[in-house]
Amino acid sequence: MSPVLSVTGYTLSYRTRSGLRRALSDITLDIAPGETLGLVGASGSGKSSLAWSILRMLPGNAQEGRGQIALAGQDLRMLTRRQLAALRGRRIGMVFQDPSTALNPSMRLGDQVAEVLIRHQRLNNRDAAIQAEAWLARTGLPHPRAIMDRYPHQVSGGEKQRVVIATAFACRPELIIFDEPTTALDVITGARILDLFAELRAETPVASLYISHDLALVGRIADRVAVLEAGRIVEQGPARDVLRAPRTATTRRLLDAIPDPAHRLSGPPPPAAPLLALNDVTVTYGRASAFGQLLGAPAPVQGARHLTLALNQGEILGIVGESGSGKSTLARALTGIAPFTGQVVFANRRMTGTDRMDRAWHRDIQIIFQNPDASLNPRHRIRTILGRPLRLYAPASPAEIEAGIIAMLEEVGLPAAYASRHPHELSGGEKQRVAIARAFAAAPKLVICDEITSALDVVVQADIARLLIALQARHGTACLFITHDLNLVRQLAHRVAVMYRGDVVDVFDATDFATADRHLYTQALLSAVSRL
């Protein structure tokens, strides 16, 4: 059968201030009707560039070299802007990584699906709405009629992604590009989106290009896999072969980076010496004033309720749960960002609120955030960022502080020269290393890691995880490791706490995961992971 998409010898560069930077070199790949090709690579390997090349939506500084991109034999590079606009949405669809940014916040969801039908199939508003509703129903949305009239912020992430999928499929395109469609979703939702993907694929003859950094995931859903490194396809073949018998070091590295619960990163649990105990801790957001309550202001929301948890010195406690389950709320209470009721005992100090948390408390409990772009001040040099905790928490001479900064950089595997750089001159993984260094610079007793690897690709995630464990073991620091990645937490944590809608529903040893008497939610979580 002749391929739907056929890329031959395609080369792409970007003009940058430091000259021409090659993004894709001599890319050749085909996708047959009904086939799924998984495109795998670390971030920066050129996956997205290829997607935008196919869609002919490259940025202004792109400079294309030789090669052809053909859809059903027609060279897309020869088409005019008008022809391309008539083709996008009708013959090529796309499902984006983050459904919360891919939908227009001020437009009803029904209209966002219907507009492709109005545009490409020349339907009138009513027929388009009927078809749009049918597609929403087809993607498994329980109340399509109601969803039609909602705005994006009124539905969940998984529901939004179903709307995006309905839009991509609405005109029955020949090719759909999936750009990491489950990365921004939590585990269970992601697994259900993958189920939907499999169903729709079985029903329609659409060819799919599935982009991901997760080789394990792609291996399970793709027919064939192409591995990309630095803009080149280094390996391409049937998914089973690539996964079982990788021929290149790149593929092996990607495979090794996949978190494997059987391969533990941390040592045995430390002896029981209590460090932290939460007793009946409740966090409430949005306190209404008396005047407001009188006039019917909204009731406050409980972010976490009646939490009771304990942590030993040097222990790693994993905290898992879907977004909104209260994981981060817990971190905010312990660091004094969110006011709480109840009792926290930490290093023999008892707190019943945030107002008595002093400098010693804040030094002893450090937090590392998910997104280093937001947590590192972009105007400060790394020296300033790392120097601050050193200066703040231990009086030292300038020479000692400088030595401390260099030592911290070395400890997190960064060259000393980075001290003079700004955060934007570092890669995502390097920035997160700086954030880790900053947390450990204060010599804390407890480090809270709030989804610190979820913005990073698998390979970098594995490095960061190993680094964290090494530091934690060396300094004897206890750690609350908040994540939605069950496999990762099983590699790292000594014990795992599962949170669900503001409650801790399960606490157990990480090695003792798959027993039967787990909470229903924990079981759902486990089965979602095994399906991925």
For helices 109-121 and 157-169, the axis angle rounded to 10 degrees is 10
Please give the Cα distance from 4 to 310 (Å, whole number).
56
If the CB atoms of residues 19 and 59 are measured against other proteins, the closer one turns out to be 59
Beta strands, E only, 328-485: 340-346, 349-351, 365-368, 446-450, 478-483
b or e along 49-58 (b: 16 or more beta carbons within 10 Å of the residue's beta carbon)?
A: bbbbbbbbee
Binding site for other proteins (CB under 8 A): 55, 57, 84-90, 92-94, 96, 98, 101-107, 115-116, 119-120, 151, 153, 164, 167, 291-292, 295-298
If the CB atoms of residues 59 and 271 are measured against other proteins, the closer one turns out to be 59
User: Residue 41 is which amino acid?
Assistant: G
Provide the minimum distance between the beta carbon of 101 and other proteins in the complex, in angstroms, as a whole number. Answer: 4
Provide the minimum distance between the beta carbon of 119 and other proteins in the complex, in angstroms, as a whole number. Answer: 6
DSSP letter for 270, please: P
Provide the minimum distance between the beta carbon of 9 and other proteins in the complex, in angstroms, as a whole number. Answer: 25
Cβ atoms 340, 376 nearer than 8 A: no
Provide the minimum distance between the beta carbon of 90 and other proteins in the complex, in angstroms, as a whole number. Answer: 6
If the CB atoms of residues 5 and 307 are measured against other proteins, the closer one turns out to be 5
Provide the minimum distance between the beta carbon of 495 and other proteins in the complex, in angstroms, as a whole number. Answer: 38
413: left (phi over 0), alpha (psi -120 to 50) or beta: left
If the CB atoms of residues 103 and 448 are measured against other proteins, the closer one turns out to be 103
Please give the Cα distance from 211 to 234 (Å, whole number).
15
If the CB atoms of residues 124 and 397 are measured against other proteins, the closer one turns out to be 124
Please give the Cα distance from 442 to 502 (Å, whole number).
30
Provide the minimum distance between the beta carbon of 394 and other proteins in the complex, in angstroms, as a whole number. Answer: 43
Provide the minimum distance between the beta carbon of 89 and other proteins in the complex, in angstroms, as a whole number. Answer: 3
Provide the minimum distance between the beta carbon of 96 and other proteins in the complex, in angstroms, as a whole number. Answer: 6
If the CB atoms of residues 180 and 235 are measured against other proteins, the closer one turns out to be 180
Helix (H, G, I), strand (E, B) or coil at 266: coil
If the CB atoms of residues 85 and 360 are measured against other proteins, the closer one turns out to be 85
If the CB atoms of residues 298 and 378 are measured against other proteins, the closer one turns out to be 298
In terms of Cα–Cα distance, which of 339, 327, 351 is closest to 285? 339
If the CB atoms of residues 88 and 433 are measured against other proteins, the closer one turns out to be 88
Residue position matching structure tokens 């699906």: 113
Angle at 118 between CA 114 and CA 119, to 5 degrees: 115
Neighbours of 77 (CB within 10 A): 12
If the CB atoms of residues 295 and 516 are measured against other proteins, the closer one turns out to be 295
Neighbours of 447 (CB within 10 A): 25
Provide the minimum distance between the beta carbon of 188 and other proteins in the complex, in angstroms, as a whole number. Answer: 24
b or e along 138-147 (b: 16 or more beta carbons within 10 Å of the residue's beta carbon)?
A: bbbbeebeeb
For helices 398-411 and 382-393, the axis angle rounded to 10 degrees is 120
Provide the minimum distance between the beta carbon of 52 and other proteins in the complex, in angstroms, as a whole number. Answer: 9
Provide the minimum distance between the beta carbon of 416 and other proteins in the complex, in angstroms, as a whole number. Answer: 37
Cβ atoms 57, 229 nearer than 8 A: no
Residue 214 Cα distances to 230, 303, 483, 491, 532, angstroms: 17, 31, 17, 17, 10
Please give the Cα distance from 476 to 482 (Å, whole number).
19
Please give the Cα distance from 464 to 412 (Å, whole number).
9
If the CB atoms of residues 210 and 340 are measured against other proteins, the closer one turns out to be 210
Provide the minimum distance between the beta carbon of 94 and other proteins in the complex, in angstroms, as a whole number. Answer: 5
If the CB atoms of residues 90 and 332 are measured against other proteins, the closer one turns out to be 90
Please give the Cα distance from 382 to 424 (Å, whole number).
10
Half-sphere exposure of 259 (CA within 13 A, CB side): 28
